[in-house]
Amino acid sequence: MGAYLLRRLLLVVPTLVGIILINFAVVQFAPGGPVDQMLAELKGDAGSSLGRISGEGQGETRGSPRNENSGNTTAYRGARGLDPAIVAEIERTFGFDKPWQDRLATMLAGYARFDLGRSLFRDRPVVDLILEKMPVSVSLGLWSTLIIYLVSIPLGIRKAVRDGSRFDVATSAVVLVGYAIPGFLFAILLVVLFAGGSFVQWFPLRGLLSPGMEQAPFLARAADYTWHMVLPTLALVIGGFAGLTMLTKNSFLEEINKHYVTTARAKGAGEQRVLYGHVFRNAMLLIIAGFPAAFIGILFTGALLVEIIFSLDGLGLLGFEAAIRRDYPVMFGTLYIFTLLGLVMQIVGDFAYTLVDPRIDFDSRR
């Protein structure tokens, strides 16, 4: 296992570099770069909708004309009528006065020491922004994933054991309803019902803590944090547990119908011994394989709209705003962190294989 983990860790570096290179190349052809957006602001063409979304009061714009040749200020269609010296100064400020090779080399060198640069529009280090937003996304992803697995696995096992019963049919109806409703739509429903939308206001609608709770005792802060996390976590759980429940049920049904289960029963093994001593280990392999993807998906993608609805300033919202603003350092920085965590979680998933089934030996694979 040690040699396998070493090989996987060594593959992380070229994978990260490859993904960064591909996205850097794609961005060079994307319309409406940061220089174009700043020029649009100077000419009074910037929209105000993005400023309302970000809540920062920055006034960044979207949908600016494409920069077709960053080495020539006349190539910026938004530069018409502006002093070329002003355009050159904006290029220098954003670092676009340098060739793309130099910008790429500087970025890769910084990433090697976890220096992700500075945000073009927030004027703050990208690392500080990510660390500031990380608690929100980690809270959503961690608690949602734990609850999904704690609910789905026992429910899926129960449905497999009682396949075709009234319990199985009734729970399948609930699971299908949960699977059919998108998480963000369920989040809106929760807001309307329980967060002061049209009925009652039992839960807060903004942030992880109430104002003034930062200096409160630990137990008070923990209770307030839990109070704030109930609705957004529930919105993510309702869609995630449905798929995992059916996956667990189908995995256990497939294993229960195999010959080794019949043999174990014929030898006099009890039902609990058969189910948790033989079936569980084999059926859980497929479920464990999907854990890294489930966690990363909830952490960075599934939580995006939920973060917006509940006014939670997390990594998903940060990456979305950076893409709209063409804030390239934040875009590449969040992508770098997402990719790194995804690769590490894949390695953790492989290691979990060996914990569930010690017979698996990755070192013996050719």
Looking at residues 314-341, what average pLDDT do you find? 82
pLDDT at 140: 83
Residues 27, 211: Cα–Cα separation, whole Å: 40
Residue range 34-75, pLDDT digits in tens: 666 666 666 664 433 333 333 333 333 333 333 433 444 445
pLDDT at 298: 67
Which CATH architecture fits 127-364?
Orthogonal Bundle (1.10)
pLDDT at 302: 60
pLDDT at 228: 86
Query: Residue 61's CB: how many other CB atoms inside 10 A?
Result: 26
Better-scored residue on pLDDT, 347 or 30: 347
pLDDT at 62: 35
- DSSP assignment of 78-130: GGTTS-HHHHHHHHHHHTTTS-HHHHHHHHHHHHHTT---B-TTT-SBHHHHH
- Of the pLDDT bands very low, low, confident and very high (cuts 50, 70, 90), residue 325 is confident
Ordered by start, the domain boundaries in the chain are 32-97, 127-364
